[in-house]
Structure 1
Amino acid sequence: MTHAAFTSALTDAVDALHGSAFPAALVRLIQQQVSFDCALLLGMERRPVYLYDNLSHQRELLFDRYLAGHFGQDPFMQALANGLAAGVWTLAEVSRGPLDPDYRQRFYQATGWQEEVGLILPIRPRLTLVLFLGRLGKRRALSQSERARLEALFPLLHSLCRQHWRQAEPLLAQSAAKANPASQDGAMLRQAIADGMASIGAELLTRRERQVAALLLQGLDTEAIADALAIGTGTVKNHRKHLYGKLRIGSQAELFSFFLNHLITAPEPGTVQDQLSPAP
């Protein structure tokens, strides 16, 4: 790393503030100090909200499983729920005993992450960012000097993030506001929404449960869903109860949040995901 390269990366990050390119610029700034293979940025409100990633390996599997519910087994998320302070943390520091075998298999073995560091970035009440930095394969573990560089950089990163996400508007509302169906890409966006409704919870829900979920997302009540599917209202209630349980949610509002996560992360990079990035 040279001083000129770091200054250039910092300038890019500042210039990108309040725009959709900021998360990528933030990660590039970090990579001027410490090298990582992959990064994942989430905002923690009621449940994780996807903000950015540069994953190239097993990306779909990671999101289908992690955001669908396995985040609850993540030691970083468990530690955050128990009051983990702002700063730079390693997986070993936040883990309480051995990792859950199911989570290890579904996440670490499936994605190939061998080293993980989490940056905990409180932004405002009820919003904390978690930036995961991972190394793949047999790369060496984080050294003491690399840890020291990350910790020295942390106050700057924290300040930049507070500036970028200082709005009180919920992250999911920002994401939804960025998607403008009247734009020239409106037809593509509407198709992506339709596809997303049809595929929500694909690995977890039955075909009928996905149908009920799609109708709930369209704002239909129990009786309207029963009429649309030619089933009884009691059956609709049972399907709703089961799909809520499988998705680990408790309300229609949380279903909408789950759907936006699904919609944001499902498309190929450069399409609808860009339209649903956090708005300035």
Structure 2
Amino acid sequence: MEALTAPQTERWPLLEWVEDIGRIFTGAADGQSALELVAMLKRACDFDHCVVFAYSGEEVPLCLFHTFSAEQYRDFVSDYQAGPYLLDPFYKASYDAVPANLYGIRDLAPDHFFLSEYYLSYYRRMLLRDEIGYFGEAAPGIRTVVSLMRADHRQRFDEADKHRLRQFEPLVRAFVANLWRDGRFGFGERPAKDSLHERLEQGFLEFGKEQLTRREQQICRLLLRGHSSASISKELSICAGTVKIHRKNLYAKLGVSSHSELFLAFLDSIRKDG
């Protein structure tokens, strides 16, 4: 009896995956092999941009790889590193060392994030519809995110997209570990953070310190990150009514009347410190 074989048209996809993996892991992990990985992921689930960031504690994020044009790099990377990363849910999740997994921004963002001034003034300016990221640890203390982005004209990533992308998690984690090891990256090897970065990090922690109580400062930072009163109530284990009172008081002390004014006051405080 003749052995049964799968039609050649059904065998090609598997062979192509194997060839892709071979190209990705042949030689050093570099920009070219990263592009091979991006191409393979796009065959499973289409997206517009990819960027890989490394995070280590309160250090300014390092960009390990990106697919942006020079103009897009300025907006997505340089501007991000200059401060907005402090309010980014992906940065916060990496800082909190969430378990390695695939997360969408909606899985991590506070409930009012998409109404926050950070989202409206920075994230939306990038003309993005959605973002999803592979979170992992490239080395002890080095958290990484391989972020896949869809432009504003597209649909958000759905559950089918996430299911397909999850199949590649082991491959992505292994590649990023190689990229970190072979790419000669290192936070300790970089020049010391410039004064702007220091002011941003310190400013976020100390904004309103002279006018606000410690509790009001906590609430202020959560408001800047995009938390609602209900979310802050849960985060700090206090009742929502108390949060609203603190919010009213801190607004009065800072001389603002809206979230957008609070955000601008925060930015102004950093500029004045410089």
Q: For residues 168 and 32 of structure 1, do their structure 2 counterparts lie closer, same or farther at Cα, with a shift above 3 Å needed?
A: closer
Checking the alignment, whether the CA contact within 8 Å between 2:29 and 2:179 is kept in structure 1 is: yes
Count of residue pairs the alignment pairs up: 188
Which of 65, 71, 82 matches 1:52? 65
2:188 is aligned with 1:157: no
Q: Distance in 2 between matches of 1:78 and 1:122?
A: 15
Q: 1:103 aligns with which of 118, 124, 129?
A: 118
2:201 match: 248
1:13 paired residue among 3, 21, 24: 24
**Aligned-pair CA distance for 1:94:** 0.5
1:139 is aligned to 2:92: no
Sort the Cα spacing of 1:249 and 1:9 in 2 relative to 1 into closer, same or farther, 3 A.
farther
Deviation by residue 1:203-244 (Cα, 9 ceiling, x = unmatched): xxxxxxxxxxxxx99xxxxxxxxxxxxxxxxxxxxxx9x746
- Aligned equivalents of 2:136 and 2:129: distance in 1? 23
1:43 to 49, 54, 63: 54
Give the match's secondary structure for 1:51: strand
Identity rate of aligned residues, in percent?
Answer: 18
Residue 41 of structure 1 deviates from its aligned partner by 0.7
1:158 maps to amino acid: R
CA separation in 1, counterparts of 2:183 and 2:190?
A: 13
- Work out whether 1:71 is the aligned partner of 2:82: no
| AA partner of residue 60 (structure 2) | R
TM-score by length of 1: 0.58
Q: Do the aligned residues in 1 keep the contact of 2:50 with 2:66 (CA within 8 Å)? A: yes
The amino acid across from 1:142 in the alignment is: F
What is the distance in 2 between the residues matched to 1:74 and 1:152?
26
Q: 1:130 aligns with which of 106, 123, 145?
A: 145
Unmatched segments (≥5 aa) in structure 2: 1-11, 204-274
Q: Cα distance, 1:20 vs. partner?
A: 4.2
2:29 and 2:183 in contact (8 A); partners too: no
Contact 1:9–1:32 (CA under 8 A) maintained in structure 2:
no
Closer, same or farther in 2 for the Cα pair 1:142/1:175, shift >3 Å?
same
Deviation, 1:154, is 0.4
How far apart are residue 175 of structure 1 and its match? Answer: 8.0
Change (3 A) 1:54 1:20: closer
> Are 2:98 and 1:87 aligned?
no
Contact 1:118 / 1:133 at 8 angstroms: preserved in 2?
A: yes
Q: Is the 8 A contact 1:6 1:32 kept in 2?
A: no
* Number of the residue aligned with 2:135: 120
After TM superposition, give the deviation of residue 245 of structure 1 in Å.
4.7
Deviation at 1:118, TM superposition (A): 1.2
SS in 2 for 1:162: helix
Where 2:134 maps in the other structure, the secondary structure is strand
**Alpha-carbon contact 1:91-1:116 (below 8 Å) kept:** yes
Which residue number in structure 2 is paired with residue 264 of structure 1?
A: none
Counterpart of 1:48, as a letter, is P
Q: Counterparts of 2:17 and 2:169 in 1: how far apart (Å)?
A: 14
* Structure 2 residue 35 is matched with structure 1 residue 24: yes
AA partner of residue 115 (structure 1): D
